Every structure is written in structure tokens, then in C-alpha cells.
Amino acid sequence: MSNSIRWRGLLVLALLILALVSLAPTFYPQALPDWWRKTFDPIQLGLDLQGGMHLVLGVDVDKAVESRFDSMIDQAENLLRERDIVYKRVSRTGPDRLAVTVYDKEAGDRVDLLLRDSFPSLEPLTAATDSGFIDKQYRLSDREIEAIKDYAVRQALETMRNRVDQFGVSEPTLQRQSDNRILIQLPGIKDPERAIALLGKTARLEFKMVAEEVNLEDALRGNLPPGTQLLYERRVDPRTGTASETPLVVQEKTVLTGDLLSDAQVRIDTRFNDPYVSIDFNAVGARRFDQITAANVGKRMAIVLDDTVYSAPVIRERISGGSAQVSGSFTEQEATDLAIVQRAGSLPAPVKILEDRTVGPSLGHDSIRQGVVSILIGGLLVILVMVIYYRLSGLIANTTLVLNIFFIMAMLSLFKATLTLPGIAGIVLTIGMAVDANVLIFERIREELRIGKTARAAVDAGFSKALSSIVDSNLTTLIAALVLFQFGTGPVKGFAVTLSIGIVSSMFTALVVSRLIFDYFLDRRQIRRLSI
């Protein structure tokens, strides 16, 4: 028995030391060396305890439908040319409708067959005849429209999650809501304006050829040739920091998009010491970029982000490496944010900030203080009841209760879990539940003592007979807590975290630590009568 006590004692001591080491950064952050603070993080507080940002974003799903429909029109034109189908034009006739104008019925039949095979979601409408031409009309099905809208919200949510992860916020909350909305909570955010700019940026990166032949004066007066658009190139004076915009006419057709990027990193121009964003294309993008640069040597290519031209360099030679750079007199933070949104991906549709609230830390301080008070009051009441009812054995239960709370806090730190206000409620509930196992054990020991067993035999039988009941009751609660954690969000998940950790910790302290204390006194002190 003495060897068993020694090994169990060493295990509890090792866990206690680990708990002390992991909790030190939470209580004494300034008194520890850097390596300690980097190895063990302090307990992270949720939005309701430390303050932060609460955002509700609305996704403009109609724009996603328009963008998808424009892409389908562009693909349809390419297919018609590839199949040598003679047509006059492909035009949009509504938000979800297009018309292909052909010269005869035979060409119309070929168009019907091609679009039916290539775009099953397009529904044919009645063809119209005008001045000898035939307009083959189609509309996007309602089912496809709803699928595009749903995908736009899901993709926006995933893009937001990627951006937040790279922004470095601990334990953010991102949740889809009804009416195409996304809830975002960012605990402890230090720069709300930067976060809003980062999350709200559509970040659609496009490469367009500059329309050099267009007269700029005519374009400014609104006389734009078909297939071109007027954009503005952003320039910042490095000496004064003054931003200016220069008009530039580009081809409306996008030759390459940021969807084909594989990476984006901030680099520093060694000549001028200015930051820029270096981008690398994936295999498809690299091949397409190679083709574009080979066919347009000597021409200017505009690099456009959210309809703003950041640079329009001349293509000096064919670029086969699949790499490019976006420069535009950025500050280092602007370049970093641009790299983040490019790595995370562009949003499929614009988003609007519908609700923006900053939760102050004063509410968190009040919540923490009230939570600590509730834990202390609940703990003291439990301790008092256990001492009165079970006397010295109650002190053993109280010792394990204190260790239980200590271990719960340590596991929150080690697992980098976030402590929320509902999480504090979970700790309070755990305090009440933690002594249940001890109560089951003590009542079994009492039963064994009543039938005349010795203290040693009563303790052995008490722990043995109570084991199955303790495991069954805690296991079912643990399963329920894990289900809440898996499918719950926000406050529910915070409650489930501390409840799950508390159950595991309370079972360990009741079955291992309590038994260790009993065995130590029974073995070393030769106790013949239990105070229970």
C-alpha cells in the first residue's frame, strides 16, 4: 500500500505543480520571464468579461447572383466561339435573364443544346424575333438563385473566419444568422477601426488591361466606348503622405482574378524602402498569367482592388514564374492587411455593417467581480455543510473541492479555452456537483461501518461500491456537456467548456485525491475510527 500511496502522491504533486506553473501568467504576468509567458498563456476572457467588438454584417446576396450570372454570360460567349456558332451578341436582359441573338433557327437550336448541356440551371424562355434576328432567351432557375445566395453567405462566413484567424484574435465568435446576416464577436480587440476595415473589405483583386486608345477627356465627360470603364488610380506622395486619384480607362473584361492566388506576403522594396504585397498564383493562375503577359508585351496592365487601381505597370516581358506584386504607396499596416485579405480570399459579395457595438471592459470587471463573489459564496456554503454533516471527512471533501477549482482554472489556461460569464456559471454549478461523488462515497462508508466493518475495510468497500454510480452519473452529464459544446454557440459553448472540464476534474479529485488522503491517514496513522 505504501508504494501505491507514494506514486499517487507524486502524480497529484506533479499535477499541482503543473497547475501552478500554468496559472502563474494569469496572476503574475509581469513578474515572469518571457519564455514562461510565451509557453503558458494566461486565461483568456470572453467578450462579456474583457470587452471587445460586437458586429452584425449583412451579405448583399443579390450582388453575388449578379456576379455569378455575369460569369456565366462570359463563359457562354467563350463556348459559342469555341464551337463556331455564329451569333450576333450575348446580352443581359434582366437581373437573372440573358438573350443570345442569332441569325437563323439552326444556330438557335445549337445554342439551346449548348447552354442546356453547359448550364443546366438556365431555363429557356420563349424566343423572340426582331428584324429578322432570333433572340433566344433564358433565365436562371429559382433553385439556382437560392443556392448561389446560400453559398455566398457560407463563403462569406468562411472568409471572415480566415481573416479573423490571421488578424490574431483569441477565441472569436462567428455565427450565421437569419436574413443573410453574420454575427462576429472579437474579444479584447485593440484597434476596432482596423478590424472593421479588414472585415468589410470585399477584396476582389482583378487584373485588367488599360485601354490606351481611349481619349481620357472624352471618358471624363462620360463618353466611354463599349466594353470599357473609368477607374481611378490611387497614389500617395511619400513625402507629404497626401493621397490623390488619377483617372484611368481600362477594359471592362477581367483577364485574371485573385481567386487564383496561392499566397500573398508583405515585402519591402530595397530601393525605396516601401512595402508592397508579393502574390503567387496557383498552377492555373500561373499558366493564365503567363499567357496574358506573353500576348500583351509593351501594354499596361491595371491591378485593381475593389474598383481602385493600385498600380498599372507596363508589361516589359513575358512573366512565367506565376508571381506578381501589388504596390501603391502602402503603409506597412495597409500592406499587411491587404496580404491578409488576399490570403483569406475575397468576399463573394459586398457586406454591410448593420450593427457595431463596442463592449467596454467596465462591464467585464463588474461581471468578474460578481462571478468571483458567487463562486466564493457557493464554495463557502458547500464547505460549511460538508464539515457540519461529515465532520473530519468533510474536511477531506473540502480539500478536494479547493483543488478541483484550482485544476479547472489550470485546464482553462492549458487548453487555451475562453472564460465567459456563462462559463463562470458552469464553475459555480461544478462546485455544487463536485461534492456529489464524495457524498456517495461517504454514505457507502457509513453503511459499511454500521454493519461492523473496520475503518480500512469500510473505506475500501465505500469507494469500490460508489465507483459505478459516480462514473455513470458524471459520464451522462459529460456527454450532455460535449453535445452543448459541439452544437452550441456563444454563451452555451462557454457554459459547456467549464462544465466539461469541471466534471473531469471533480471525478479525478473525488476518486484519486480523496482516496489518497484516506489511505495516507489509515496507513500511516493507524486510525481505527473514522470521523464521518
Phi/psi-derived region of residue 236, left when phi > 0, alpha when psi is between -120 and 50, beta in every other case: beta
pLDDT interval class at 230 (50, 70, 90): very high
We report the CATH number of the domain holding residue 274 as: 3.30.1360.200
Handedness of CA 193, 199, 202, 203 (dihedral sign): positive
How many separate domains does the chain show? 3
3-state secondary structure 158-192: HHHHHHHHHHCCCCCEEEEECCCEEEEEEECCCCH
Using CA atoms, how far residue 287 sits from 291, 292, 312, in Å, is: 6, 9, 21
pLDDT interval class at 530 (50, 70, 90): confident
Task: State mean pLDDT over 442-451.
Answer: 88
Domain-located, residue 119 = yes
Using CA atoms, how far residue 366 sits from 43, 358, 436, in Å, is: 17, 16, 31
Q: Which of 306, 341, 358 is the last residue of a domain?
A: 358
Within this chain, do residues 248 and 259 fall inside the same structural domain, yes or no? yes
Within this chain, do residues 421 and 484 fall inside the same structural domain, yes or no? yes
Domain boundaries, position 291? 201-358
Within this chain, do residues 279 and 371 fall inside the same structural domain, yes or no? no
Domain-located, residue 531 = no
Question: In one letter, which amino acid is 441?
Answer: I
Instruction: Identify the pLDDT of residue 167.
Output: 66
Within this chain, do residues 327 and 440 fall inside the same structural domain, yes or no? no
- The single-letter DSSP state of residue 85 is -
Within this chain, do residues 368 and 346 fall inside the same structural domain, yes or no? no
Mean pLDDT of the chain: 81
Within this chain, do residues 113 and 208 fall inside the same structural domain, yes or no? no
Within this chain, do residues 377 and 335 fall inside the same structural domain, yes or no? no
- The single-letter DSSP state of residue 493 is H
Indicate if the pLDDT at residue 272 is higher than 70.
Answer: no
> In this structure, what C-alpha cell is assigned to residue 93?
436582359
We report the CATH number of the domain holding residue 496 as: 1.20.1640.10
> In this structure, what C-alpha cell is assigned to residue 159?
472568409
pLDDT interval class at 493 (50, 70, 90): confident
Domain-located, residue 514 = yes
Within this chain, do residues 372 and 340 fall inside the same structural domain, yes or no? no
| SS3 label, residue 255 | coil
Domain-located, residue 460 = yes
Handedness of CA 122, 123, 124, 125 (dihedral sign): negative
Task: State mean pLDDT over 356-384.
Answer: 74
Indicate if the pLDDT at residue 213 is higher than 70.
Answer: yes
Within this chain, do residues 263 and 372 fall inside the same structural domain, yes or no? no
- Residue 517 near residue 396 (C-beta atoms within 8 A): yes
Instruction: Identify the pLDDT of residue 250.
Output: 92
Indicate if the pLDDT at residue 165 is higher than 70.
Answer: yes
Domain-located, residue 437 = yes
Domain-located, residue 492 = yes
Q: Which of 300, 328, 358 is the last residue of a domain?
A: 358
Instruction: Identify the pLDDT of residue 99.
Output: 87
We report the CATH number of the domain holding residue 95 as: 3.10.28
Q: Which residue has the cell 477607374?
A: 231
Instruction: Identify the pLDDT of residue 249.
Output: 92
Q: Which of 335, 358, 381 is the last residue of a domain?
A: 358
Q: Is 36 exposed, middle or buried (0-12, 13-18, 19+ CB in 10 A)?
A: middle
pLDDT tens-digit profile of 323-344? 777 665 666 776 776 676 666 5
Kindly list the strands in the beta sheet with 173-177, ordered across the sheet, starting from the edge strand earlier in the chain.
173-177, 181-187, 52-59, 351-359
pLDDT tens-digit profile of 184-197? 888 777 777 777 77
Within this chain, do residues 239 and 320 fall inside the same structural domain, yes or no? yes
Q: How many CB atoms lie within 10 A of CB 413?
A: 21
Rounded to the nearest 10°, the torsion over CA 330, 334, 338, 340 is: 140
> Which of the given ranges, 93-107, 165-179, 187-201, 367-381, has the highest pLDDT on average?
93-107
> In this structure, what C-alpha cell is assigned to residue 23?
496559472
The DSSP-derived string for 405-423 is HHHHHHHHHHTTPEE-HHH
Instruction: Identify the pLDDT of residue 171.
Output: 66
Domain-located, residue 458 = yes
The DSSP-derived string for 359-391 is E-HHHHHHHHHHHHHHHHHHHHHHHHHHHHHHH
Lowest mean pLDDT among 213-217, 284-288, 345-349, 457-461: 345-349
Within this chain, do residues 113 and 223 fall inside the same structural domain, yes or no? no
Domain-located, residue 147 = no
- The single-letter DSSP state of residue 303 is E
Kindly list the strands in the beta sheet with 205-209, ordered across the sheet, starting from the edge strand earlier in the chain.
243-251, 228-236, 308-311, 301-305, 205-209, 256-257
pLDDT interval class at 419 (50, 70, 90): confident
| Residues pairing with 175 in the sheet | 183
Within this chain, do residues 443 and 466 fall inside the same structural domain, yes or no? yes
pTM over 0.85: no
Instruction: Identify the pLDDT of residue 241.
Output: 62
- The single-letter DSSP state of residue 210 is B
pLDDT interval class at 460 (50, 70, 90): confident
Those residues with Cβ within 8 angstroms of residue 145's Cβ, 6 or more apart along the chain or in another chain: 65, 96
Handedness of CA 197, 200, 205, 211 (dihedral sign): negative
pLDDT tens-digit profile of 34-44? 778 777 878 87
- Residue 325 near residue 279 (C-beta atoms within 8 A): yes
Secondary element (H or E) of residue 101: strand 97-102
Instruction: Identify the pLDDT of residue 344.
Output: 58
